[in-house]
Amino acid sequence: MTDLNTLEAEVLAQVAAAGDLQALDAVRVAAVGKTGSISGLLKTLGAMSPEDRKTQGAAINALRDKVAEAIADKKAALEAAELDARLASETLDLSLPAPHRRKGSVHPTMQTMDEMVAIFAEMGFAVAEGPDIEDDFHNFTALNFPPKHPAREMHDTFFFNTKETGERMLLRTHTSPVQVRTMVSQKPPIRIIAPGRTYRVDNDATHTPVFHQVEGLVIDKGIHMGHLKWTLETFLARFFETDAVTTQFRPHHFPFTEPSAEMDVQCDRSGGEIKIGQGTSWLEILGCGMVHPNVLRACGIDPDEYQGFAFGMGVDRLGMLKYGMPDLRDMWSSDVRWLSHYGFSAFAAPNAASGLS
């Protein structure tokens, strides 16, 4: 027992004197490790008599537990001291500004579309949507396209493989099928816009194979070209945020409208910029017209009772004009620098109360 008391004093003194975790671990190994002094005493119990084994075993186990507890307490104290030293040496100045974090932004196409939807919603138009993959009836036949029209050919339209039934599905070339689906499923009066993606075999500085349109449709009794003209001029004045919008209608041909027209807006092209509402130049902005009687009949509407007008405009093109973007293909380049320059805050949604752009 005298030897155990001496060993206990020595080991506890070594634990107390350990100046760091490495020194403390060395004391632990020397005392209770596989070849440690206390572990060696435990190995001698097998050669003792049962009486001595009972007495010495209890004393040695008590010493081992006491040393283990002392080591654990010392380790906790050393770790706390080490943490205090790190906190004292690794201070953080919270008064410094936080590092810059890259923020996302709304794509100009989506911003432009949201602006257009906000304006037409203010004018009483509802938003209608339809599938990107269409059939021949909704994309061509119901819209009065003749059988040999160029738009029905592969050089202008993305067609899928022919089905066993002979039908060929396609990527819609305009959002006009949404108008057809609305007229088939809904009785007049109708006042909708149809925003969405469209697809055509085309690619240059002002055309891409995938682009966005907003088309509008109004069907009711007594509708005439004057209603169409007022609607479009009101929209352009709100969209370009100027009252000085001068427009002109030029006769044109669309299979689905009669009469048909293209609408130009007066602008100034000097200085490498296009300024709406001033100058002496004209810029084509959209196509429009009165809904063709054949389209009304195909959708189950009596053209002798109801009339209507329709229009369609490119979202990407209007965004280019309003925000001065020279090349439409940049919108699809996935260049973060371009989006940082032209992008819009996600917290500034266009609306009639706080403004559009």
Tokens found for residue 15 = 């634990």
* End-to-end Cα separation, the chain, in angstroms: 90
Distance (Å, whole) CA 204 – CA 329: 7
Tokens found for residue 332 = 């699809």
Q: Looking at the chain, how many residues does it have?
A: 357
SS3 309: strand
Q: Which of 129, 91, 145 is nearest to 257 (CA)?
A: 145
Distance (Å, whole) CA 175 – CA 280: 32
CB 233 within 8 A of CB 265: no
Neighbours of 338 (CB within 10 A): 15
- Bridge partners, 194 (sequence order): 215
SS3 92: coil
CB 210 within 8 A of CB 199: yes
DSSP per-residue string spanning 131-179: -SEE-HHHHTGGGT--TT-GGGSTTTS-BPPPPTTS---EE-SSSHHHH
Neighbours of 189 (CB within 10 A): 12
Distance (Å, whole) CA 323 – CA 239: 11
- Establish whether 258 is an annotated binding residue: yes
CA-based torsion, 193, 197, 198, 200: positive or negative: positive
SS3 184: helix
* Known binding residues: 258
* Known binding residues for Mg(2+): 258
